[in-house]
């Protein structure tokens, strides 16, 4: 049994981790870290857990943490940076769900996050936790920067067309739509039910931090610097991200040929489902699962590909992917505990 | 491994059964019965199943069915009656999700369903599949009449107060609210998104068939004939039923005392969660799980109890309960494959 | 032109008032009172008003208010009590949307609101602003206690059956379901989109203040003290209340006969629509309008009537009814500016 | 009074027209045309109209139609083409909500609609009913091709940047999100509540007919042939379209400068609201109104503008714009009856 600590267990990403781990056959939840709800059973904070998991939330105690094998840090931004070095020092593996350990270049982090990085040496060591691209490195890593939700969806959607050389690195547009769980459980007027329902909007146009994370990975795919337009939108649903990605083609191809490129690239990947030509992803096909669905249409009139990718933002975009990383780090089949189909309903 | 056939696999109750069974450690899905989608992989009908379960749907073939241990019949009303005797004859156990095998008295069935019953002798043998009340009989049954969604929620909510003699059998009101999955996947104007969203309505007031099923069981609890007002409502959400039950008290008691009666009655029942005084059920606490949450308030001013019970209508109210019954019929721990917490998000 | 002041213009009831008044042919909005947004154009607080109404919000200034003919006070609870006497003194008519001026008996107020009333003499003078019951008194009133949302829906639904003597005053149950605008614009975890959507729950069972207001009016209808069970529920939609009301019958009657009683009682009432037997209200039929829809079924098996009434909680249940009252107080046709059909979509 | 006929009154665009016209001070509804509901009062088909408008629906009778001044044709595709010449012949002005009379070039129509045009001479005469671009021609037209919903939103969003020469005509991407009313009232599985809610998807990628209509108008703005990527998405809400438009810049400019270009272009346009830099449209700001909100961000890093425009698809995108056209054709202030702010709630 892998002994796990979930730090920040009562946020939305944290509680989804708890939900997944509570059904994981090879992991136990030893610590439910929560500053705000310390002393309270998790089943009072999230009443769906009554009779299933009734452990008390607790404040961070590094000595107790030291008894665990791995910590998931789903802490408010900045907080994880102080905690993580201590956890690593005590011999834990750490999977961090914040943006702090996702970057190859500390300068890119500091530019987009507008602050100095407190552990540049750990950043240098950390591995970007996107198993479909970095499986081998993840297996031996001590510290994982678990990818963002928009980024997981967008990178996996655009990677093969760039890697294959079929797609141009110029004029890439990523137009992404996210459900409201992506904003977390903090309360604020824009997330009031009456303000959210029956409403769609764009936000942080041209400035969202995930832009830099997507560009980092797509630049590696293209073999040169890629800059993209990334526009996040808030849509009135709980779970789900749909990224619509526009890429100009370097040479003519059909939808079927492009699908074949994707199928080849993702051959053997359980969690990536490339749709046949004529079929496109929908967020309800992935909600509640670790799958990434990718479909595409080549617009031969314009010599441009439109690629649509979908994930569940708090599952493959956060908690599920974190568990996928844990599975890899501890030598398990990466599907363990997360192989299920989505809810659909 | 229990070899299962799901007949009517592509309706909402059927596909939820498939989803639950696909993660069940002791059961395999051998047959996905569907008249409308025969020949098509289930993963094309419900694309969330791609990579998880890709078996083809098939028309009913009794000889193939004979290789299974158990059949779940989630067929359109009437259809199951023709099929079930043949399945029983071939040695299968059958768990029927229609209303056909839920009644003690064939006359009650014929009055509320306005048709003759085609297998009265099987009806006489069948067991009402509410494990919290009929666990022992279920264990040895060949044929289960799996309870309705409204009825599961309402019977479990009202049973203890009547059984204990605290509640009067006169003037019982059950006001129930259901999500739209309860109406099934058939298309019709009232279930068009634009007609359903932002809308709440009552329907089939004083005439809904589930009335008779609730009355049958509550009469046994009270030890005399009980007649109730039952009003179903459609609310703009997918999953969930909330029943608000009004029962006059035969003698004064406090909320705490009533809670104690319920806790005692349901002691040891994993799937029933009685809320402490001051706390009430919400459908989001049970969605995606097999739990029934029950809370209550004694209105001392009126000497009346208000009991609120909540289930997921397609899980505990249909597919999950069917699996709970299967577990019992095959000697498994009844929680096998359905012990999980709900989705919450 | 009637010169109006809307105090508390930026809450949900306030802004609905502003929306209605901005299209009213005989009223002008002179003052948009808002403590929190003083100095800001209303069209920045609610951007739907850009190009329509761009006046600045302002803090309360009694001298400026004195130039108006009428003030609508949609203030946080308690606040209106201090302001209203000053407004009355300056010669304004006042329509108060809080609970402070709805009671015949100050003791009932003080019991349910758990505080002393600061203006008992004004309370004695105030008129309960339900035009269908108190039209004549409203016409000459200086101070209106505008009814609550649940109460408008429930009183109008139950009044005729009690007034006619057909319904028993014992065992009345009012089970009401409300959209989330009823909770106002204040932010709190229960109103976070992800907590509200796909969720239904009961709250304040047996203790909601509107109970006392409904009982006050139904007692007058019945000619004796009436006590009711009133259970509010929160449902995942913005607008709409549906009250399902259970009343035992003093003598047998058919649905058609009961419908006739209601039609007779509400003859000539534009805003009350009594449904024919066989048809029932839905909240989408009234959303965005001042209508009350009432339908009913007599359950002859139980000798009980089930009456269903529906309103838009922030229109007929707050802002629209306030304008209806204003129209009456200033000698206009009461339909002026609010005669429109609901949105439906 | 303008005497109007609404043909196809019981679809979603039709009933929104009826709702708007029922409050229009200068128009009367003489004919409610409906093949399916002929003989039934409109208030039984849409119960929100009880007490407001109770006229019977009727089958098309050209002699009765001849008594009207104008007909709105909101008929199923193809149907309007047969009817319109007869109406014109009888002296009516016609505002057609189908795609049949929106094209300058019959060949473009025939290519995208995959059928021969039955009245090319009327097409040649018809005027494209986008008042912000063709106000003068509309005033004297006999036949208006009322623009599509996606097209109204997208054309008005992109026109000024192309007209001004600031934007490049290459690599224009229009990524649009629409509520479900856009699909109409026809029933089909994809519009079942349980399939729509909590779901977002793209559809008709690279093939949607509105592409050609947007290209027609943007080509005029740019002064040369423009081809765009247009991707429609279905989002889980009733009303609202949000178009996110990506345009490369021909020369550097700031967000503020681009806002100024838009403000200048739309100076005096009541129904177009250009947002200040830093503020962006949301569909809830326009739902229930005839407004188009347009906001923008210049991404100086990429030398690209991201323009976001929002409308209510069945109001400004269909019924409201049709009334705006009627107002112009009959010499009224174009705001008559449609000047109101949106619902917000």
Helices and strands (DSSP H and E) totals, chain D = 13, 14
The tens digit of pLDDT for each residue in B156-168 reads 999 999 999 999 9
Question: Could you tell me which chains touch chain B, where touching means 3 or more CB pairs under 8 A?
Answer: A, C, D
Cβ within 8 Å of residue A139, ≥6 positions away = A328, A329, A331
pLDDT of residue B61: 93
DSSP character for A248?
E
Mean pLDDT of chain A: 97
| Strand, helix or coil for residue A32 | strand
CB contact under 8 A, D229 and A201: no
Nearest to A340 among B12, B23, B341 (CB): B23
Which residue in the block uniquely carries the two structure tokens 């009044």? C159
The tens digit of pLDDT for each residue in C241-267 reads 999 999 999 999 999 999 999 999 999
pLDDT of residue D76: 77
CA angle A22, A24, A26 (to 5 degrees): 125
pLDDT of residue B80: 75
* Residues B313/B240, Cβ–Cβ less than 8 Å: yes
CB contact under 8 A, A188 and C188: no
CA of A305 vs chain D CAs: smallest distance (Å): 9
Cα distance between residue A187 and residue A321, in whole Å: 26
Give the residue among C23, C42, C21, C22 at the shortest CA–CA distance from C32.
C42
Chain B contacts of A198, Cβ < 8 Å?
198
Q: Show the tokens assigned to A272.
A: 């990536």
Nearest to A345 among B284, B314, B344 (CB): B314
Q: Quick one: closest CA in A to D293, which residue?
A: A201
Q: Show the tokens assigned to D53.
A: 């408008």
pLDDT at D46 over 80: yes
Nearest to C306 among B179, B205, B237 (CB): B205
Domain ranges of chain D: 2-147+316-329, 150-313
pLDDT at D80 over 80: no
DSSP character for A310?
E
- Residue C303's Cβ-count burial label (10 Å; 0-12, 13-18, 19+) is middle
Banded model confidence at residue D312, pLDDT cuts 50, 70, 90: very high
Cα distance between residue B116 and residue B120, in whole Å: 9
The fraction of chain D above a pLDDT of 90, given in percent, is 97
pLDDT at D296 over 80: yes
The fraction of chain A above a pLDDT of 90, given in percent, is 97
Mark out chain A residues that contact chain B at CB-CB < 8 A: 12, 15-16, 19, 22-23, 46-53, 181, 198, 238-239, 270-271, 273, 279, 282, 284-289, 291, 293, 314, 339-345
* Residues D196/D189, Cβ–Cβ less than 8 Å: no
CA angle A132, A134, A138 (to 5 degrees): 115
Give the residue among A169, A277, A257 at the shortest CA–CA distance from A221.
A169
- Terminal Cα-to-Cα distance of chain C (whole angstroms): 32
Chain A contacts of B50, Cβ < 8 Å?
273, 285, 291, 293
CA angle C198, C202, C206 (to 5 degrees): 175
Q: Show the tokens assigned to B233.
A: 């409502």
* Residues D209/D149, Cβ–Cβ less than 8 Å: no
Within 13 Å, how many C-alpha atoms sit on residue C334's CB side?
A: 23
Handedness of CA A138, A142, A145, A149 (dihedral sign): positive
DSSP symbols for B94-144: EEE-SSTT--S-HHHHHHHHTS--S-HHHHHH-EE--HHHHHHHHHT-SEE
Q: Return the CATH number of the domain spanning residue range A150-312.
A: 3.30.360.10
The tens digit of pLDDT for each residue in D168-212 reads 999 999 999 999 999 999 999 999 999 999 999 999 999 999 999
The tens digit of pLDDT for each residue in C186-218 reads 999 999 999 999 999 999 999 999 999 999 999
Q: Return the CATH number of the domain spanning residue range D150-313.
A: 3.30.360.10
The enclosing H or E element of B307 equals: strand B304-311
CB contact under 8 A, A340 and B22: yes
DSSP symbols for A85-139: HHHHHTT-EEEE-SSTT--S-HHHHHHHHTS--S-HHHHHH-EE--HHHHHHHHH
Cα distance between residue A303 and residue C81, in whole Å: 69
Average pLDDT over residues C333-338: 98
Phi, psi of D316 (to 5 degrees): -60, -25
CA of A5 vs chain C CAs: smallest distance (Å): 25
pLDDT of residue C308: 98
Cα distance between residue B217 and residue D24, in whole Å: 57
Give the residue among A150, A231, A140, A137 at the shortest CA–CA distance from A183.
A150
Chain A contacts of D195, Cβ < 8 Å?
284
Reading across the β-sheet that carries C2-7, which strands appear in turn? C57-58, C27-33, C2-7, C70-73, C93-96, C143-145, C127-128
Cα distance between residue D152 and residue D138, in whole Å: 16
pLDDT of residue C82: 80
Q: Residue A61 CB: number of other CB atoms within 10 A?
A: 11
Question: Could you tell me which chains touch chain D, where touching means 3 or more CB pairs under 8 A?
Answer: A, B, C
pLDDT of residue D81: 73
The tens digit of pLDDT for each residue in C117-156 reads 989 999 999 999 999 999 999 999 999 999 999 999 999 9
pLDDT of residue B180: 98
- Residue A331's Cβ-count burial label (10 Å; 0-12, 13-18, 19+) is exposed
The enclosing H or E element of D106 equals: helix D106-113
The fraction of chain C above a pLDDT of 70, given in percent, is 99
Nearest to D238 among B191, B197, B237 (CB): B197
Banded model confidence at residue D82, pLDDT cuts 50, 70, 90: confident
DSSP character for A318?
I
Q: Return the CATH number of the domain spanning residue range B2-147+316-329.
A: 3.40.50.720
* Residues C307/C157, Cβ–Cβ less than 8 Å: yes
The enclosing H or E element of D309 equals: strand D304-311
Q: Show the tokens assigned to D279.
A: 């503020």
pLDDT of residue C249: 98
ipTM: 0.97
Q: pTM for the complete prediction?
A: 0.98
Which residue in C13, C188, C194, C345 has the most chain A C-beta atoms within 10 A of its own C-beta, making it the best mutation to test that interface?
C194
pLDDT at A269 over 90: yes
The phi-psi region of residue B148 (left if phi > 0; otherwise alpha if psi is between -120 and 50; otherwise beta) is beta
| pLDDT < 50: residue spans in chain B | none
Question: Could you tell me which chains touch chain A, where touching means 3 or more CB pairs under 8 A?
Answer: B, C, D
Cα distance between residue D339 and residue D149, in whole Å: 19
Average pLDDT over residues D153-160: 98
Give the residue among D284, D130, D291 at the shortest CA–CA distance from D218.
D130
List the catalytic residue out of B57, B68, B149, B153. Answer: B149
Q: Quick one: closest CA in C to A182, which residue?
A: C194
């Amino acid at each position: 049994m892998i002994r796990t600590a979930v730090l920040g267990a009562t946020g939305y990403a944290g509680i989804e981790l708890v939900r997944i781990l509570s059904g994981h056959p090879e992991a136990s939840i030893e610590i439910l870290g929560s500053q705000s709800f310390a002393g309270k059973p998790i089943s009072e904070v999230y009443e769906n857990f009554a009779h299933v998991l009734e452990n008390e939330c607790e404040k961070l105690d590094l000595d107790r943490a030291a008894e665990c094998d791995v910590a998931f840090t789903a802490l408010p931004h900045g907080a994880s940076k102080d905690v993580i070095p201590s956890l690593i020092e005590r011999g834990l593996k750490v999977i961090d769900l914040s943006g702090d350990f996702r970057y190859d270049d500390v300068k890119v982090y500091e530019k987009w996050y507008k602050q100095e990085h407190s552990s540049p040496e750990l950043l240098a060591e950390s591995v970007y936790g996107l198993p479909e691209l970095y499986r081998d490195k993840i297996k031996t890593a001590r510290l994982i920067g678990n990818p963002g939700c928009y980024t997981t969806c967008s990178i996996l959607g655009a990677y093969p067309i760039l890697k294959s050389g079929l797609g141009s690195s110029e004029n890439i547009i990523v137009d992404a739509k996210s459900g409201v769980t992506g904003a977390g459980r903090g309360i604020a007027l824009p997330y009031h039910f009456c303000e959210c329902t029956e409403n769609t909007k764009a936000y942080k146009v041209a400035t969202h931090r995930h832009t830099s994370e997507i560009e980092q990975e797509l630049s590696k795919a293209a073999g040169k610097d890629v800059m993209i337009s990334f526009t996040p939108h808030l849509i009135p649903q709980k779970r789900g991200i749909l990224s619509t990605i526009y890429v100009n083609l370097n040479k003519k191809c059909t939808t079927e040929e492009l699908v074949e490129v994707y199928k080849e690239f993702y051959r053997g990947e359980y969690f990536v489902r490339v749709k046949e030509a004529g079929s496109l992803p929908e967020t309800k096909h992935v909600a509640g699962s670790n799958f990434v669905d990718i479909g595409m249409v080549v617009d031969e009139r314009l010599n441009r590909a439109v690629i649509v990718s979908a994930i569940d933002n708090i599952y493959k975009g956060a908690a599920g992917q974190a568990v996928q990383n844990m599975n890899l780090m501890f030598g398990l089949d990466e599907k363990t505990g997360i192989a299920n189909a989505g809810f659909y309903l």
